[in-house]
Structure 1
């Protein structure tokens, strides 16, 4: 499987469709290419791809397949995946949701572990519940995931033992079923209803006549409520069999140890009864309705078109991948053309094509179109015309070469970064390969196949045109539209739109021969006036230039081929007023897109497409930030682009107009569910109405003009201090020189003013603040928050609050989810803004039924009161602290971790000092300190509460 070719999994809505990007390939080393023989690993049956010999494959006598591998990223961690070849497509009508329900029950308890103990055992080993230990049920499989940090031999042995018991003998009792069924029902209830209805309609249309049309893993309420221990056990015995299991283990240990563990705990597993046959997933059928519509005012107007074909992945071969490469080049060219039209002001805000193999059921080409306004017919027509033009007229060789150049750059970058690919992503890649009947190969092997296709002359205009025709032909073409108002003729209109003979769009394509030499000149290189080491252990240096620019730099090659760049300038939120809304909200999407010098988005794409150069932007508490991940070869040009944005920004109005249109279109969903309302209102409410936070009103968005956007951002780009943070696989002297030639060459800047607006937490309320949503009547949300603090002087306290929050979260999960079954994903968060003098908070949140909000508040306040009343015991502290320490240890192996800790340190040295005390701040925390912090902050007279209730129930 050449995973750089993989397109995203089939999506419901593509809310932001940018120029084509490529996922990363699987990373490894391997032997020369050859056709598989009987002695070869099971993964490569029927494949002639290069084998990845860093994996050791095997099969136990009972049929369990396994793959083990050594990987030291992050150090000390072992990642284990147990994949069962059984998902929702294996369920009978009376078993809808059983695969997912069984996943939940398996985690509760098994033959080796009493109910609920596996979570606590793994916490003591440093595992974070929900992220390090989790599972996923899909249409075709159920995969159990465990990332065991700092794995000891005893912890590894215990973990394999628990996992084997979960597969072979989960505890399916009436007690466990009664406890976990409400959690599964809560998970289903918490899904946003409009998106769920649209997804159901989409699958029922596109996969009409196939089981995939109505076999979502979440199941049905009726089947789940009817489940008994006997019926769930029957599903388990039928499908949880050794010959349907694949165990994957990768980590910082000898693979022989992992292989021995698998043999020790999985060899005795025996299936019960006769092995079932995998059901027929069917094939796309032509004799079904080709169009459908829904009316969801809470969602953006959208048109989705799909061309469906039978499942195609039967043998993962070189030629299969090379042909798929041509298909993907055709898709990329189409997407680039669509993006160009959207940027210049089209009938659609965004549109994009995707090619995917789905659930071993169909090969599907999709076109997703977000119209400008409600006119989906014009938008769909224009998108279809753009596709028709590619099918009617071969693309230019220059267009093809541009895509080939970008693919080549990505693949070469993956080869260079292979040594630092995490075991987690490598394990997940192999699971996905097993899922879709593909293999894994090496980055070098992937690149050789790609270069082989080039050498054969496969990427010609005629070949790409033929692929464009092929991916838009199939068994059936179908389309779904969402509208905001009922239209009795909409289905016939959709049918007519699909069958209309569109005229190929006449696109004016200009060759973009742009170079960095065409960028505006900045000035003479700046002089270094000070260079010093600020941390000898981490080799972090600080450099000061004559114009006042300061550089924090760390040369560390542990992440091969990766250089992280943050450019902090100005004052961020501190520069924005606290009493009126300004168009800062549009900056994240439109500021970089508005151009650099005379270069607009098209030119910038051409300039950077085959380079490792990024153009990210964000607004932080005390600085505006340009962000990128690059490499040492492209670092100088990366810095020059960012510096030129400050010195000579472009002000193309089209990105502002597009950002406004996209934001206005998104308003439909901002009241559609409890979590949507929280996303809209919670941040601004927790800042006492401060307009620097939250979502602007529809009127404010509609009033935005390119002139107002420029009026805000032009002075902000010119003023305020500049700190350049560069960490990673770099050359220190070359980096100092590159900064001198870019940011060091800028004219000295004025300091830039802060608005002086205070950061406020809302006053205590006797009754919760109420907001309403327009979604399902059984959905609600409840939030309780307490004010804490902010600023770098309190860093040590903020870290101890992380531990207190972890204890609070664990108790809330145990009592609200595991015991009461009221909420699937309750959470408790600690927010301590280092760049602001205040505004911090601890907040607990739960998605609950409307009649359980009071229960949530009582439970949260009881937990808070108990944390104040008495210190926690040693075991609870260990179960909270050990996963946090392990998270820090894992993150500390990456340069981004250290950069995040010290960023802003040239203006605020306390952050650099705080980096040095990090380990002590966590490790030395005592139960008494946590109790004191709880008494200080979890005060009942300071808490603030909020509920989001269904609109109908609130009347």
Structure 2
């Protein structure tokens, strides 16, 4: 029920490098976490526990208590208090879709759903309700996931009182062996699974499956995509569910993890109480062979075509290879691999940053023991479709350049510096890692036979062997990945290519014939923005004691709010707010704000290109982003106390000397058509592409820009849009985290405090504060997507109001919560129309009277009328007051628990405090939030439903497949 989404960033190479060295074999998540010292593992119960640290020279985190029950179930317990008074429970099974028979394809995932649909002690439909009463929200706090190799169940407990902890363990014990798997319940869930398959059937998923088949022809992994196949989902009898459940949900395959503000002794006793009677089968089923690498495979090409796919090319070197034991030696070798790959990826990033390359994105990686039978070195590139041959040539030639000539010392120094910084930060921040991150590291370490160590130990290993990370060692490790096997080249594209094998081969051979030369060392350089003039003086300073704030105004008008916290060790979060955002006037092109937001940072600074900044700032914990909000512009970033001064220098440099280089716009123009193509490939994508503009009656400040709009905006227009606010508008800075007040003020005084005086006020641009909700629809507006012909989505929008009345907005939020409960229970659980019923509320901060409440449902096209009718019936129920006390509790309690957690979140405080000089009521909103939500009555929600869920005001949008399909 969960899905992972990978997002590429400019720092992905060195972050991956550090994670690999500090933690793991290459293709698994980072695991080297936890406390400060190394010690033997605590394995005190149940005999031989068979954890990786017992046979490794790597020290395990001594704070984790490991054990195994007599029935074979393993467990790990870690006391941790971030967030305080909370805990997370994880139960993982070392079995996934690979363990299915042919007539069970999809049942591992289907079983995951059935865990929420009835057991011996929890009737069907009651488990989610039970947890909601305690404050667990379905999805964020109560969830599960399945892939080829494992199943994982997840409960995030918002409190650690005895009753809730015991209930959480009871529910997971029910999942372990007490599911009823009622045949009627299975039948009711079939359409939900089919809806999830429909929702996830995207071009990227189909490409990924085709790529797996190309890489590993004939392997079992090819035919075991976790979602399964419709024939099995629709028809599999109960007996096949029971067969999988009894054979693979077994104690020997299970790992139970508890991390949180708990007493380990108490938790260990509860684990024994709840799980001690779980019996291991006498004749447990073995794992299947997942596949093998095809021997003596020569150079091969593959091709995947879809009209809506990105143009993606991969180059792989694949050889046999089981997962290696997790030792200090293998981690060091993986670190060498990661450094070389990071250097090559950095070279490709530099080419992309030039603005003239056909490449849009590139990643380089190494997986040792993929699916436990293959070791793979790989390069992935995304390009403009019509220039794919050029892009493939760049990848081939840069790979060959690295293999033939190696790297420069400057390149290696940059990546080693980045690796060192990442490991230092991890060690400094270890004590305040969140429960969910720690639990994820522990259970996945078990699953992939890795040692869960400490960041301090990882840093110590790095420091002890960094001198061995020589150019020669890194180059040798890089060549080892690629030597001795022929490359496999796979192209996915929206272009229809005649005889693709010949075309790809010809493009490859043409590139191979092009000579390459050694790379010259570009040098690191120094950051040019360290002197902004005489540090500014403070004109006003005040304390807001109940909220723990220091409020400062500098003589030049710059306003600052600082909140020291202990929520995240060694982390500081910063926001710089200025101007009026999308309200600012624009001379040409309503979409200039969207484009300015996209290109502002990629255009670099006056003295440094974006590419140069990566070299200059190597090894420093600085960075961030730029955004155009409804009523302001934002610079945001995260740093450490040691680098806070540099962070403020960088942000001040962006404010005073943005680069506005043409390569930023060129990159955006290259990627924009591909983003648009991808968005058109699914109903949810079309929602993002077009609906926000529809909801504002065609206002083209909203929605994704059309190709014509992108082409019409030039750099000078983006510069003109931002220039007045950058140069003169009032500035408000918010700083939250591990800060020393005096040191932070000194850093701000020497940067933002030193710039010329800002205007004391800024226009409200009332003439631009118009947003008009469209007229109600008698028939839905029809949009068309280019995805599968059985994918559709219905959407209902009700106009509401702006956020000028905080209590009113909170009542609408509670109305949405209750609506969500009813939508899930009817459209998913009772009628099986959908896997996903979405809803949200939005009240504008900038446009008077503008807001809306939205319900969206992913469906089959033929079900549109029935689902619209169901939504209207549920809205009518709310207007008629059909809300019981149980629904009130299940709607309110998760919100209150989220608020309690938010009180210990630097990111949340940053958002709450941002803009509080312009709008002091934001401080009062913080003070009142818990009491206000607690006070909202059923009558208020019913009145809100009668006011805002007006059937005569509905705006409906149906997203259907393209008629040409």
- Give 1:326 shift: 0.3
* Residue 57 of structure 1 pairs with residue 66 of structure 2: yes
* Residue 230 of structure 1 pairs with residue 239 of structure 2: yes
Identify which of 832, 840, 843 aligns with 1:829.
Answer: 840
Q: Secondary structure at the match of 1:801?
A: helix
Higher mean alpha-carbon deviation, 871-880 vs 747-756, is at 747-756
* Residue 745 of structure 1 pairs with residue 751 of structure 2: no
Change over 3 Å in CA distance of 1:164–1:439 after alignment to 2: same
Q: Secondary structure at the match of 1:519?
A: coil
* Residue 932 of structure 1 pairs with residue 943 of structure 2: yes
Moved over 6 A (4+): 9-16, 33-41
Matching residue of 2:736: 727
- Give 1:215 shift: 0.9
Matching residue of 1:849: 860
Identify which of 689, 692, 716 aligns with 1:683.
Answer: 692
Paired positions, count = 941
Change over 3 Å in CA distance of 1:204–1:83 after alignment to 2: same
Identify which of 76, 79, 100 aligns with 2:88.
Answer: 79
Say whether the 8 Å CA contact 2:558–2:758 is kept in structure 1. no
Q: Secondary structure at the match of 1:190?
A: helix
Unaligned runs of at least 5 residues, structure 2: 20-29
Change over 3 Å in CA distance of 1:13–1:805 after alignment to 2: closer
In the TM superposition, 1:34-45 aligns within 5 A as 42-45=51-54
Deviations 1:637-676, CA, capped at 9 Å, x for gaps: 2111111222222222112111111112323223211111
- Give 1:760 shift: 2.0
In the TM superposition, 1:347-386 aligns within 5 A as 347-357=358-368, 358-386=370-398
Matching residue of 2:347: 337
Matching residue of 1:559: 568
In the TM superposition, 1:774-853 aligns within 5 A as 774-791=786-803, 793-853=804-864
Deviations 1:46-101, CA, capped at 9 Å, x for gaps: 21111111110000000001101101111111111101111011111111001001
Say whether the 8 Å CA contact 1:31–1:51 is kept in structure 2. no
Matching residue of 1:319: 329
Q: Secondary structure at the match of 1:22?
A: helix
Higher mean alpha-carbon deviation, 381-390 vs 568-577, is at 568-577
- Give 1:12 shift: 9.9
Say whether the 8 Å CA contact 2:798–2:852 is kept in structure 1. yes
Deviations 1:537-583, CA, capped at 9 Å, x for gaps: 22112111111111111122332111110000111122155995232
In the TM superposition, 1:196-595 aligns within 5 A as 196-286=205-295, 290-344=300-354, 345-357=356-368, 358-454=370-466, 457-473=467-483, 477-498=487-508, 501=512, 503=514, 505-506=516-517, 509-516=520-527, 518-519=528-529, 521-533=531-543, 535-576=544-585, 580-595=589-604
Say whether the 8 Å CA contact 1:784–1:943 is kept in structure 2. yes
Say whether the 8 Å CA contact 2:38–2:62 is kept in structure 1. no
Change over 3 Å in CA distance of 1:256–1:505 after alignment to 2: farther
Higher mean alpha-carbon deviation, 359-368 vs 91-100, is at 359-368
- Give 1:347 shift: 3.3
Higher mean alpha-carbon deviation, 13-22 vs 155-164, is at 13-22
Say whether the 8 Å CA contact 1:576–1:692 is kept in structure 2. no
Deviations 1:502-525, CA, capped at 9 Å, x for gaps: 546436544334334x32743322
Unaligned runs of at least 5 residues, structure 1: 1-8
Change over 3 Å in CA distance of 1:927–1:35 after alignment to 2: closer
- Give 1:313 shift: 2.2
Say whether the 8 Å CA contact 1:566–1:625 is kept in structure 2. yes
Identify which of 692, 695, 699 aligns with 2:708.
Answer: 699
- Give 1:143 shift: 0.5
Say whether the 8 Å CA contact 1:74–1:423 is kept in structure 2. yes
Higher mean alpha-carbon deviation, 620-629 vs 271-280, is at 271-280
- Give 1:220 shift: 0.5
Q: Secondary structure at the match of 2:512?
A: coil
Matching residue of 1:29: 35
- Give 1:498 shift: 4.9
In the TM superposition, 1:747-766 aligns within 5 A as 747-750=756-759, 751-755=761-765, 756-757=767-768, 758-766=770-778
Say whether the 8 Å CA contact 1:829–1:842 is kept in structure 2. yes
Q: Secondary structure at the match of 1:633?
A: helix
Matching residue of 1:135: 144
- Give 1:19 shift: 5.9
Change over 3 Å in CA distance of 1:19–1:530 after alignment to 2: same
Say whether the 8 Å CA contact 1:30–1:50 is kept in structure 2. no
Deviations 1:188-213, CA, capped at 9 Å, x for gaps: 01124322321221111012132112
Please give the alpha-carbon distance, in whole angstroms, between the structure 2 residues aligned to 1:10 and 1:485. 28
Q: Secondary structure at the match of 1:218?
A: coil
Deviations 1:405-428, CA, capped at 9 Å, x for gaps: 111111111111111100101001
Matching residue of 1:112: 121
Matching residue of 1:3: none
Q: Secondary structure at the match of 1:374?
A: helix
In the TM superposition, 1:555-704 aligns within 5 A as 555-576=564-585, 580-704=589-713
Higher mean alpha-carbon deviation, 597-606 vs 502-511, is at 502-511
Please give the alpha-carbon distance, in whole angstroms, between the structure 2 residues aligned to 1:314 and 1:394. 26
Higher mean alpha-carbon deviation, 939-948 vs 20-29, is at 20-29
Please give the alpha-carbon distance, in whole angstroms, between the structure 2 residues aligned to 1:39 and 1:61. 10
Please give the alpha-carbon distance, in whole angstroms, between the structure 2 residues aligned to 1:924 and 1:711. 48
Identify which of 93, 98, 112 aligns with 2:102.
Answer: 93
Say whether the 8 Å CA contact 2:314–2:491 is kept in structure 1. yes
Change over 3 Å in CA distance of 1:465–1:361 after alignment to 2: same
Q: Secondary structure at the match of 1:246?
A: strand
Deviations 1:718-743, CA, capped at 9 Å, x for gaps: 23221000011111122122212111
Higher mean alpha-carbon deviation, 426-435 vs 11-20, is at 11-20
Please give the alpha-carbon distance, in whole angstroms, between the structure 2 residues aligned to 1:732 and 1:943. 51
Change over 3 Å in CA distance of 1:438–1:588 after alignment to 2: farther
- Give 1:953 shift: 7.9
Matching residue of 1:20: 13
Higher mean alpha-carbon deviation, 713-722 vs 596-605, is at 713-722
Please give the alpha-carbon distance, in whole angstroms, between the structure 2 residues aligned to 1:190 and 1:161. 32
Q: TM-score, normalised by structure 2?
A: 0.94
Change over 3 Å in CA distance of 1:194–1:78 after alignment to 2: same
Q: Secondary structure at the match of 2:90?
A: strand
- Give 1:15 shift: 6.7
Identify which of 67, 76, 79 aligns with 2:76.
Answer: 67
- Give 1:272 shift: 3.7
Higher mean alpha-carbon deviation, 551-560 vs 841-850, is at 551-560
Say whether the 8 Å CA contact 2:591–2:702 is kept in structure 1. no
Say whether the 8 Å CA contact 1:660–1:704 is kept in structure 2. no
Please give the alpha-carbon distance, in whole angstroms, between the structure 2 residues aligned to 1:323 and 1:394. 17
Please give the alpha-carbon distance, in whole angstroms, between the structure 1 residues aligned to 2:258 and 2:812. 34
Q: Secondary structure at the match of 1:20?
A: helix
Change over 3 Å in CA distance of 1:39–1:857 after alignment to 2: closer
Say whether the 8 Å CA contact 1:670–1:677 is kept in structure 2. yes
Matching residue of 2:164: 155
